[in-house]
Amino acid sequence: MLSSASKMAAGVLHRGPDDAGAWADRDAGIALSHQRLSIIDLSPAGHQPMRSPCGRYVIVYNGEIYNHQDLRSDLERSGGSFDWRGHSDTETLLAALRHWGVRGTLERLNGMFAFAVWDATERTLFLARDRMGEKPLYYGRCGDTLLFGSELKALTVHPDWRGEVDRDALALYMRHNCVPAPWSIYRGVAKLPPAHFLVIRNGGRDVGEPICYWNLALVAENGAGAVVGEPEALTEELDILLRDAVKLRMAADVPLGAFLSGGFDSTTVAALMQVQSEQPVKTFSIGFFEESYDEAPHAKLVAGHLGTDHTEFYVTPEEALAVIPKLPAIYDEPFSDSSQIPTYLVSELARKHVTVSLSGDGGDELFCGYNRYVTGYRIWSKLRLLPRPVRSMLSAVFRYAPGHSLDALQRRLPRRFRVSNLADRLPKLADVLGHQDGQSFYRSLVSHAVNPGEFVLGADEPKTIIDYPDLLPDLPGLREQMMYLDMKTYLPDDILTKLDRASMAVSLEARVPLLDHRVVEFAWRVPMQYKYRNGEGKWLLRQVLSRYVPPELMNRPKKGFGVPIEHWLRGPLRDWAECLLDAKRLREQGFFDSVQIRRMWEEHVAGKGRWHFHLWDVLMFQAWLETSPASPYTG
């Protein structure tokens, strides 16, 4: 039992190369193991698994509790006796669980975390995950054994592991380019949803339903537009709140820095770090030689204004392509957001200098930043009024417009009139032109494959939250509904998954100040008129940033954090893709309709169709299947 647990921990060595530990109670049939990335209290006092002084509780935990010093003070004021052995947040968390219980502790935590705590007296195991889903947690039964861990690779090395590809989850993946919680790519293995905990009894045979301890739906519904105040007062309140969120995430006993793309979110985080630091903050950005994807020059200008210690690295196509073979092992299950490549590269760059890096993720969902909330919604609300034949004609034009022609046209326009990734956006607009109601419009926007059943054999696509509009909280309008759904799905399942796996693959801890739950709650109380204003999103966040960075420095078209997959598939990746998409191979594996896949591939190579996003979904599954240690080609 102990050796199996140690082997599972070794499977995620990259998440914590500084220390390792395992603990087991054979009579109770429980074993816990851990790999430590030392951030707070580098001494042996932070070793895990950690046992409470009374011996009742044992914990393994991944993440950071940013308010743990305040929690220590609260515990001491409560009159309890605490003989602290060190200053790690793990010890604080364990003491809090003893004193307040699981739910009482979770409601007090400000942090990112996934933990398992064993109560030896009650013979009960608790699993818990942070509010926004920054840290992952998988669990599932293999025979008589209940397995759980931060990544699937920890589960797959256990001797009892039996893996079967879940075709229904594969259909979800083809729609969303990731496998959304609570599903995983393996049948019988689940992801614990954000803001939930799980109670497990009877030797792992009694697994309860996940229990919600922080309800985003209520946060959104009760808070939507509740703040009444002048813009300057709201700006000041958000400034103070963001400063504190950033300051809390700057606590570390190791070097730390920040990712800096030069966009509003990452610039806000870097600016608030720099004004609270006595030394130049280390910032990192990567550049691409393809101009339409390159944000490094602007990031350099921003870093110069802020006075950060900036490092940039220009990535050649060969260096970016070299990341692709690593992706299946990094993500453990199919994941095809192509910005996974630059996210890994900037993490790799930062890890050469720091152990912790702050990231600007979350600003789009909180403050109405995505194009679908702004331009997409505005265009759709007008185009849907056109007669259906006209919309059908426009849809065909948008879908098949040649990407190279659009790129050439863009280059002839003044910069202020250019639309980022126009060639990729028009096919998506083509998909949504047929929808009359807001919910189906959103569903189409977030879908890669509109009908995954056309591609995945033997699948019955499960319903998710986006299929049940009646279950949504009562929100003022479609923009708010889209932002809520993105926070529930796209943010944890795609954005935060991408950030966690890419950073932890190189043993870098990434922290996300904008997702401090106090910031989330505040953002929902801000009326839409202070998020979307004058035809632009993130208005209130821009007001905060203008206190630190001149607005004229930030006025530029937004670029996506992506790579030119469309061109690579016709060029340097063509042979690799052809091998994975071989018709005989597809038929033998039996997961995809080989005729459909081959048609898309041949049309894409010939320049007759722009199927690169769909094909990248298939290719990332194929690459994962080829390297997965326990995924047979049938299931």
**Domain boundary residue, one of 214, 248, 279:** 214
Residues annotated within the binding site are 89, 286, 359-360
What are 212-255's pLDDT values in tens digits?
Answer: 999 999 999 999 877 777 899 999 999 999 999 999 999 999 99
- Domain match, 59 and 173 both: yes
- Domain match, 272 and 310 both: yes
User: Is 411 a member of any domain?
Assistant: no
- The stretch 58-73 carries a mean pLDDT of 96
| Bond before 387 cis per omega within 30 degrees | no
517 has pLDDT over 50: yes
Q: Residue 16: helix, strand or coil by DSSP? A: coil
- Domain match, 38 and 106 both: yes
Give the residue numbers spanning the domain of 520.
217-368+481-554
- Looking at the structure of the chain, the number of domains it has is 3
- Domain match, 173 and 310 both: no
Pair 143, 84: CB distance under 8 Å? no
- Domain match, 273 and 140 both: no
- Domain match, 138 and 271 both: no
Evaluate the CA torsion angle 35, 40, 45, 49 in order and state its sign. Answer: negative
- Domain match, 226 and 351 both: yes
Measured between alpha carbons, how far is residue 554 from residues 301, 404, 424 in Å? 10, 28, 24
d(Cα 455, Cα 619) in Å, to the nearest integer? 13
User: Is 318 a member of any domain?
Assistant: yes
User: Is 467 a member of any domain?
Assistant: no
- The stretch 46-53 carries a mean pLDDT of 95
The confidence band for 154, taking pLDDT boundaries of 50, 70 and 90, is: very high
Give the chain's length: 635
The confidence band for 560, taking pLDDT boundaries of 50, 70 and 90, is: low
The confidence band for 630, taking pLDDT boundaries of 50, 70 and 90, is: very low
pLDDT at 445: 86
What are 321-330's pLDDT values in tens digits?
Answer: 999 999 999 9
- The stretch 520-545 carries a mean pLDDT of 95
User: Is 544 a member of any domain?
Assistant: yes
pLDDT at 279: 96
105 has pLDDT over 50: yes
pLDDT at 634: 38
What are 256-282's pLDDT values in tens digits?
Answer: 999 999 999 999 999 999 999 999 999
The confidence band for 386, taking pLDDT boundaries of 50, 70 and 90, is: confident
pLDDT at 261: 93
The confidence band for 428, taking pLDDT boundaries of 50, 70 and 90, is: low
User: Is 278 a member of any domain?
Assistant: yes
- Domain match, 78 and 225 both: no
The confidence band for 454, taking pLDDT boundaries of 50, 70 and 90, is: confident
**Domain boundary residue, one of 214, 235, 262:** 214
User: Is 65 a member of any domain?
Assistant: yes
pLDDT at 435: 65
More confident residue, 415 or 14: 14
411 has pLDDT over 70: no
- The stretch 510-531 carries a mean pLDDT of 96
Pair 429, 382: CB distance under 8 Å? no
d(Cα 76, Cα 99) in Å, to the nearest integer? 11
- Domain match, 230 and 198 both: no
The phi, psi pair for 485, rounded to 5°, reads -65, -40
pLDDT at 264: 95
- Domain match, 51 and 65 both: yes
Residues annotated within the binding site for ATP are 286, 359-360
- The stretch 527-550 carries a mean pLDDT of 95
pLDDT at 633: 44
User: Is 426 a member of any domain?
Assistant: no
34 has pLDDT over 50: yes
* Mean per-residue pLDDT of the chain: 90
pLDDT at 389: 73
The confidence band for 558, taking pLDDT boundaries of 50, 70 and 90, is: low
The confidence band for 377, taking pLDDT boundaries of 50, 70 and 90, is: confident
- Domain match, 540 and 575 both: no
331 has pLDDT over 90: yes
397 has pLDDT over 90: no
What lies within 8 Å, CB to CB, of 263 at 6+ separation is 295, 360, 558
The CATH code of the domain that includes 334 is 3.40.50.620
Q: Residue 120: helix, strand or coil by DSSP? A: coil
Pair 243, 105: CB distance under 8 Å? no
What are 566-581's pLDDT values in tens digits?
Answer: 889 999 999 999 999 9
- Domain match, 57 and 192 both: yes
412 has pLDDT over 60: no
User: Is 490 a member of any domain?
Assistant: yes
What are 288-307's pLDDT values in tens digits?
Answer: 877 666 788 899 999 999 99
Residues annotated within the binding site for L-glutamine are 89
The CATH code of the domain that includes 78 is 3.60.20.10
- The stretch 284-289 carries a mean pLDDT of 89
d(Cα 107, Cα 134) in Å, to the nearest integer? 16
d(Cα 235, Cα 544) in Å, to the nearest integer? 6
More confident residue, 81 or 608: 608
**Domain boundary residue, one of 554, 585, 601:** 554
pLDDT at 19: 96
pLDDT at 87: 92
